[in-house]
Copies of this chain bind each other. A is one copy, B any other.
Amino acid sequence: MRLNQLIGSIAEAGRELLNRTRPEARSVEQLCEDLSSSKGEAMGTAIAQEVVAAYDKMDKEQKIDFFGLLYNKYSSDRETILKSAEAYKTTNDLETFKALSVAVDGPRKNLFRSFNMAPNGTSTLVRMREDLFELLPEHKELEAVDVDFLYLLKSWFNRGFLTLETINWQTPAHILEKLIAYEAVHEMQGWDDLRRRLADDRRCFAFFHPALPDDPLIFVQVALVDGIAGNVQDLLAEPRADDDRSNFDTAIFYSISNCQEGLRGISFGNFLIKQVVMELRKEFPQLKRFATLSPIPGFRRWLNKEVANAESALLTASEKEQLSQLNSDQWHTFESYVDMVEPLLMRLCAHYLYHAKRGKYPLDPVERFHLGNGARIERLNWMADTSANGLAQSAGMLVNYGYELSKVEESHEAYVNDHAIVTSKDFLKLID
């Protein structure tokens, strides 16, 4: 029996129990107080269930009140902290240290742990955090509440608790429909598109957590191809009848999507990619290369600044002139223009990936992620994603990051210690 169903069966019985003992509904404030008292130990599951039910019915105003309650009443108490710190300073023994720990840890984390005992408790906490994100811009003080959410969820969604599942056409429909909804990189056009992406020469893997058995946390889509894929249009197209799709040597990770906004800040991608590389190597010993086909989300923004920068050393006036057409509609359909700007844009984009920084690390966030994982820049691809989004982000270019497991540690070290941008030799040729 799955976790959820099982706790679900408690729910029903628990509700019955509660109906008997507490005829009128109690306020959420009272419920939280009960959960934080000794009653929480005796009646925890049942009360937690009432909190979840109450939360499910709240409108936005009530949620603001609820998070306000969490902030005002369940934050760590400053006076206690300062007093405990003083005592610890004086005595320096385990007891005063533990008292200080408890004071700093505060009552809110334990309240969240109590919520978690309800059926669907974990998923409710994830949704709560998602809701909280919407309120943060207007209610900065609630950031303190998020600190506790993040602390707990990071601990609970530890890699050791996740399972890797293969997603394919045998997967239940209610999970597949979530893939359609969550795909963030190359939007899915419905069930036929999905089915293409789950064909024999494709693979899809996702991480799941036992408390959210119906909800993937993150998934990656892989194409098994012959040679490194240089554009995404081919990958998403229907295969031609005469394709020989059995003759592949390369796995292309062409889309990685996080699914749970409420788990923002908890990183799954690195673990996912590496485990999938290992799974694929086991299933297909013939695979020689593993690489992403990744967006370059910051390139056009950076480029626009360079163009606007009167003192840019990178661009001549005539080059700037050329680039001005990039803002016109459909520029990518004018062959002669495309041919003309290709060398220029390839050079600029390579420069962006290699030299543009935020602090000591690359400016591009996707690049930071993959180099941080120990991947290297493999190849820059022209006219690789001609969707509206691809043109807007990176003038249609995509980049391959290569994952060679035996070099991952070394590359990671070079990146972290020396801030090195590890690349293939071919890519380096694009750099002046």
Residues of B within 8 A of A211 (CB): 160-161
When the two chains form their complex, are residues B173 and A169 in contact, meaning their CB atoms are under 8 A apart?
yes
When the two chains form their complex, are residues B161 and A210 in contact, meaning their CB atoms are under 8 A apart?
yes
When the two chains form their complex, are residues A94 and B144 in contact, meaning their CB atoms are under 8 A apart?
yes
Stretch at the interface among A14-22, A250-258, A323-331, A333-341: A14-22
Chain B nearest CB from A239 CB (Å) reads 18
Residues of B within 8 A of A271 (CB): 44-45, 117
When the two chains form their complex, are residues B155 and A13 in contact, meaning their CB atoms are under 8 A apart?
no
Complex partner residue of A89 from B82, B155, B372, CB under 8 angstroms = B82
Known: A163-B6, A409-B22. A88 touches B81 (CB 8 A): yes
Complex partner residue of A160 from B118, B406, B407, B412, CB under 8 angstroms = B118
For the complex, give the distance between the alpha carbons of A103 and B67 in Å.
26
Residues of A238-286 at the interface with B, using a CB-CB cut-off of 8 Å, are 267, 270-271, 274-275, 278-279, 281-282
Task: Say yes or no for A427: interface residue by CB 8 A criterion.
Answer: no
Max chain B Cβ within 10 angstroms of own Cβ: one of A17, A76, A160, A408: A160
Measured CB to CB, the nearest residue on chain B to A190 is B191
Residues of A66-101 at the interface with B, using a CB-CB cut-off of 8 Å, are 76, 78, 81-82, 85, 88-89, 92, 94, 97-98, 100-101
Complex partner residue of A82 from B85, B281, B413, CB under 8 angstroms = B85
Measured CB to CB, the nearest residue on chain B to A413 is B39
When the two chains form their complex, are residues B6 and A164 in contact, meaning their CB atoms are under 8 A apart?
yes
- Copies of this protein in the assembly total 4
When the two chains form their complex, are residues A41 and B270 in contact, meaning their CB atoms are under 8 A apart?
yes
Number of A residues whose C-beta is below 8 Å from B?
A: 86
Known: A41-B267, A82-B85, A163-B3. A100 touches B94 (CB 8 A): no
Residues of A122-153 at the interface with B, using a CB-CB cut-off of 8 Å, are 122, 143-144, 147, 152
Complex partner residue of A1 from B116, B163, B407, CB under 8 angstroms = B163
Chain B nearest CB from A230 CB (Å) reads 27
Task: Say yes or no for A7: interface residue by CB 8 A criterion.
Answer: yes
Task: Say yes or no for A30: interface residue by CB 8 A criterion.
Answer: no
Measured CB to CB, the nearest residue on chain B to A124 is B160
Q: Mark A145-177, 1 if CB is under 8 A from B, else 0.
A: 001000010011011110111000111111010
Complex partner residue of A159 from B17, B117, B176, CB under 8 angstroms = B117
Residues of A within 8 A of B (CB): 1, 3, 6-7, 9-10, 13-14, 17, 20-22, 38-39, 41-45, 76, 78, 81-82, 85, 88-89, 92, 94, 97-98, 100-101, 104-105, 113, 116-118, 121-122, 143-144, 147, 152, 155-156, 158-161, 163-165, 169-174, 176, 190-191, 195, 210-211, 267, 270-271, 274-275, 278-279, 281-282, 372-374, 405-410, 412-413, 416
Q: A13-B279, A82-B89, A190-B191 are in contact. List 17 more A-B contacts (CB 8 A).
A: A1-B163, A1-B165, A10-B275, A14-B278, A17-B408, A45-B274, A78-B92, A81-B100, A85-B85, A100-B104, A113-B158, A152-B155, A156-B156, A156-B161, A173-B173, A173-B195, A191-B191
Q: Can you list 12 contacts pairing A with B, beta carbon distance less than 8 Å?
A: A1-B165, A3-B161, A7-B163, A38-B412, A81-B100, A85-B89, A94-B143, A113-B158, A116-B160, A117-B159, A122-B161, A156-B156
